[in-house]
């Protein structure tokens, strides 16, 4: 494979969204200031609260003095006014409004500091092992940090779990209070396959960008932190995405609802059980190597009823040139009940001779 691009940034991380394969990385576990990329977690928790019914996009939020006074990038909400959750969420995503972000955090948790506790709890649930949040907006604070790898985990979760909200990350402009502002992700203008995700910048963090693009059914997520300029973060992120798309391809090998094999069932009211993978299996490989893939299934020697739907019956592994790329559980697609007395007796006799 060609060498990973040499990029003038503190750290970066490029993965395939479906397979999770890492295609390029540099200092992926280095703790850095994530700046406004922090807002991805705030947006994620807002979406989660909407999904479980704790809040709605239509309900109104009263803007506090603290939210109104936030410096940096702003949506320009006014203190004491009411703004809907949905509108504030757009201001957070498209305009990177610190004021909108704090208003949402206070609406959900009462205070921004309490909301930061929710953020850290969610980070642990997602597997973000090197992340600690001190606030909702990414405003510089001691002990506020994340990593390129952890941010890729968060961005992937956003795309996977809340696709309806994710569509706002590709919106190029948003007008609120008669003030028109543009999305800071310049890749949205350079590459039509890019549909997100989020920029960040502080003096300590440098210029940061999380980007995602989808070409011919293949989605990549790139995280670039600590670039030296706005143009640099855009150019380097484009280089990462181009590298991944040019030299790799992703294939969905097995779908969770696909019958891969049928197996003989003993002592059941049915003689066969359909088997498939528990979840979709994807692999990302160097371009042109699809025909070299090898898959192997390992199924239980004797499958006896009763069998529950989803019961583990074996495993499947996928290799390329002796290197394992993916594996998954093979499960029963449907249940098989225990057979009657005659069925069980006949199967016992057959097994004796077998």
**pLDDT tens, residue by residue, 36-58:** 999 999 999 999 999 999 999 99
Residues 241-259 have a mean pLDDT of 95
CB under 8 A, 24+ apart: contacts of 318-322: 318/253, 318/281, 318/283, 318/293, 318/294, 319/293, 319/294, 319/295, 320/283, 320/285, 320/289, 320/292, 320/293, 320/294, 321/292
Average pLDDT, the chain: 94
- Residue 261 makes CB contacts below 8 A (sequence gap 6+) with 274, 275, 276, 297, 299, 330
Residues 228-232 have a mean pLDDT of 95
Structure confidence at residue 354 (pLDDT): 67
146 carries an active-site annotation:
no
Query: Which ranges in the chain belong to alpha helices (H)?
Result: 39-51, 65-69, 85-95, 98-109, 112-126, 148-161, 163-166, 187-190, 230-247, 341-353
Give the start-to-end residue ranges of the domains of the chain. 11-248, 255-353
Residues 162-187 have a mean pLDDT of 95
Model pTM above 0.85: yes
Residue tagged 């225990």 (tokens) = 338
- Distances in Å between the Cα of 44 and the Cα atoms of 79, 89, 184 are 25, 10, 19
Residues 3-10 have a mean pLDDT of 90
Residue whose C-alpha is closest to residue 113's, from 121, 105, 125? 105
Ramachandran class of 133: left when φ > 0, alpha when ψ lies in -120 to 50, beta otherwise: beta
The tens digit of pLDDT for each residue in 284-319 reads 999 999 999 999 999 988 899 899 999 999 999 999
Residues 321-345 have a mean pLDDT of 89
Residues 88-101 have a mean pLDDT of 97
Cβ atoms of 278 and 310 closer than 8 Å: yes
d(CA 97, CA 3): 38
39 carries an active-site annotation:
yes
Phi, psi of 331 (to 5 degrees): -130, 165
Assigned fold of 255-353: Peptidoglycan synthesis regulatory factor (PBP3), Domain 2 (2.60.410)
- The token pair that represents 234 in the structure block: 């855009």
| pLDDT of 262 over the 80 cut | yes
| pLDDT of 134 over the 90 cut | yes
Active-site residue, from 64, 73, 96, 211: 96
pLDDT band at 227 (very low <50, low <70, confident <90, very high): very high
Active-site residue, from 39, 74, 134, 198: 39
- Distances in Å between the Cα of 21 and the Cα atoms of 117, 136, 189, 223, 286 are 30, 29, 27, 14, 11
| pLDDT of 114 over the 90 cut | yes
Structure confidence at residue 339 (pLDDT): 81
Structure confidence at residue 349 (pLDDT): 80
CATH of segment(s) 11-248: 3.40.710.10
d(CA 290, CA 278): 23
How crowded is the C-beta side of 232, counted as CA atoms within 13 Å? Answer: 17
The tens digit of pLDDT for each residue in 148-159 reads 999 999 999 999
Cβ atoms of 17 and 195 closer than 8 Å: no
Phi, psi of 194 (to 5 degrees): -80, 130
96 carries an active-site annotation:
yes
| pLDDT of 121 over the 80 cut | yes
d(CA 181, CA 40): 19
Expressed in percent and rounded to 5, the helix, strand and coil fractions of the chain are 35, 30, 35
Structure confidence at residue 302 (pLDDT): 87
Structure confidence at residue 187 (pLDDT): 97
Residue tagged 């705030």 (tokens) = 42
Active-site residue, from 11, 19, 36, 73: 36
Which carries the bigger pLDDT value, residue 1 or residue 98? 98
Residues 180-190 have a mean pLDDT of 96
């Amino acid at each position: 494979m060609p060498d990973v691009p040499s990029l003038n940034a503190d750290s970066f991380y490029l993965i395939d969204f479906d397979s999770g394969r890492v295609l390029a990385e540099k200092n992926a576990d280095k703790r850095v200031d994530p700046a406004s990329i922090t807002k991805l977690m705030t947006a994620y928790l807002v979406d989660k609260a909407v999904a479980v019914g704790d809040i709605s996009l239509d309900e109104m939020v009263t803007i506090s003095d603290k939210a109104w006074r936030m410096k940096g990038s702003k949506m320009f909400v006014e203190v004491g006014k009411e703004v809907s959750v949905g509108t504030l969420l757009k201001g957070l995503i498209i305009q990177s409004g610190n004021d909108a972000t704090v208003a949402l955090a206070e609406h959900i948790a009462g205070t921004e500091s309490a909301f930061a506790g929710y953020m850290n709890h969610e980070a642990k649930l997602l597997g973000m092992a090197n992340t600690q949040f001190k606030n909702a907006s990414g405003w510089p604070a001691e002990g506020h940090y994340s990593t390129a790898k952890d941010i890729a985990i968060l961005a992937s979760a956003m795309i996977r779990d809340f696709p309806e909200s994710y569509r706002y990350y590709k919106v190029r402009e948003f007008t609120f209070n008669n003030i028109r502002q543009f999305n800071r992700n310049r890749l949205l203008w350079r590459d039509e396959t890019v549909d997100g995700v989020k920029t960040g910048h502080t003096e300590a963090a440098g210029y940061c960008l999380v980007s995602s693009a989808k070409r011919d059914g293949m989605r990549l997520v790139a995280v670039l932190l600590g670039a030296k300029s706005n143009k640099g973060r855009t150019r380097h992120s484009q280089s990462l995405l181009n590298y991944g798309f040019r030299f790799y391809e992703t294939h969905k090998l097995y779908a969770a609802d696909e019958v891969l094999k049928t197996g003989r069932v003993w002592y059941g009211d049915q003689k066969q059980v359909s088997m498939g993978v528990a979840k979709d299996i994807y692999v990302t490989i160097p371009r042109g190597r699809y025909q070299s893939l090898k898959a192997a299934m390992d199924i239980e020697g004797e499958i006896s009823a009763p069998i529950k739907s989803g019961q583990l019956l074996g495993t499947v592994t996928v290799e390329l040139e002796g290197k394992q790329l993916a594996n998954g559980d093979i499960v029963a697609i449907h249940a098989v009940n225990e057979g009657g007395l005659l069925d069980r007796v006949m199967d016992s006799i057959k097994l004796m001779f077998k």
